[in-house]
Structure 1
Amino acid sequence: MANSTWTLDKAHSEVEFSIRHMMISRVKGGFRDFEAEIEADPTDLTSAKIQFTIDIASIDTANEDRDNHLRSADFFEVEKYPKLTFTSSDIKKQGNDYAVTGDVSLHGVTKSETFIVTSGGVVKDPMSGAQKAGFSVTGTIKRSDYGLTWNAPLETGGVLVSDDVKISMEVQASQA
């Protein structure tokens, strides 16, 4: 299969994260508004071109007070930095997976990051007749690399919020 354009199926895709809280548990959340531009052969991603954009204001941790704090100047400063973007620059096959490296731009900082992408395969959608491809994406970024350093010390040692943020995405795309 040759490279072709794929459109993100937002109804069947999700962007989630988790972060350690108080050093004892994980808090999870996600972003509800995102888009992607994908040019790829879903059976061999090594020549793919991927651009992903997330609207930071769409953050949802199931706690309105926390979401508003995350949108504030203590964290994302969404009025000044409304988007997170990822643009692929290098893709290498690693066994059944792919190491997808690219530039992450967040909070006024751009840094190269690598995510692991696992293909779920390609099938014909029985409802629309369109070809659909699915992918699982995982990785970890350090929030301090992007100037997201707000924290509070705990009396028992450690900090309120960890530096490492685990990223998890499920992506389904339709061939254009």
Structure 2
Amino acid sequence: MLKKTVSGLALSALLLASGSAVAAEYKMDKEGQHAFIQFRIQHLGYSWLYGSFKDFDGRFTFDEKNPAADKVEVTINTQSLDTHHAERDKHLRSADFLNVARYPQATFVSTSVKPHGEGLDITGDLTLNGVTHPVTLVAKKVGEGKDPWGGWRAGFEASGKFALKDFNIKKDLGPSSQEVELILSVEGIRQ
């Protein structure tokens, strides 16, 4: 279930969250490790269990003056789930949760971007565990500008949540663990 949240939603939301002065397409900085898809879920209602997806890729467009035209697409290798505990990761990759043998990728494709306060609401179709369901991320632009290598970058943070049952994850982890929270941080390089 943690994989679901991290997968497409987090990255997509972050990228679309804020705007730049000029409409442009950005590729997530995967090689430079300036993009992160993280998730958390309560453990027994006593603490938080954190994890991330280590292998993903994505693109987004950003137009500060016309956010409705923005698009986000993210693909996540669900096998790359990492909670810093090998046995737990093995279980989360199993058919009880993400079923990575059958569904090796999760995707997020935005369907709308709307201004909301100082940020953006990015709604899109998250496909995880063979199920597609709409998810909304709340995103904000962290900053944008020239980088030391002559390029232009834009960075976003986003968050959201979804219910495990919405993605056919039937394993019951207790009443405090029905939803997964996404925490995203993405830096894109203008193409």
Compute the TM-score of the two structures, normalised by the length of structure 1. 0.91
Between Structure 1 and Structure 2, which shows a larger proportion of strand residues?
1
Q: Matched residue pairs, number?
A: 169
Q: Which residue of 1 aligns with 2:168?
A: 147
- The match for 2:133 is 111
CA deviations over 1:53-81 (Å, ceiling 9, x no partner) = 11110000000000000011111110101
1:164 matched to 2:184? The reply is no
Larger radius of gyration: 1
Q: Unaligned stretches of 5+ in structure 2? A: 1-20
What are the residue-to-residue correspondences of 1:117-128 with 2, within 5 Å? 117-126=139-148, 128=149
**Aligned pair in 2 of structure 1 residues 42, 122: CA closer, same or farther (>3 Å)?**
farther
> Equivalents in 1 of 2:181, 2:134: separation in Å?
16
Q: What one-letter code is carried by the residue in structure 2 that aligns with 1:149?
A: K
User: Partner residue of 2:101?
Assistant: 79
1:56 maps to 2:83: no
Q: Which has the higher contact order (CA 8 A, sep 6+)?
A: 2
1:122 Cα deviation after fit:
1.1
Deviation at 1:137, TM superposition (A): 0.9
Q: Distance in 2 between the 1:93 and 1:46 partners?
A: 8
> Which of 62, 65, 68 is 1:46 aligned to?
68
What is the percentage of aligned positions where both structures have the same residue? 33
Task: List runs of 5+ in structure 1 lacking aligned partners.
Answer: 153-158
Q: How many angstroms does 1:160 deviate by?
A: 7.9
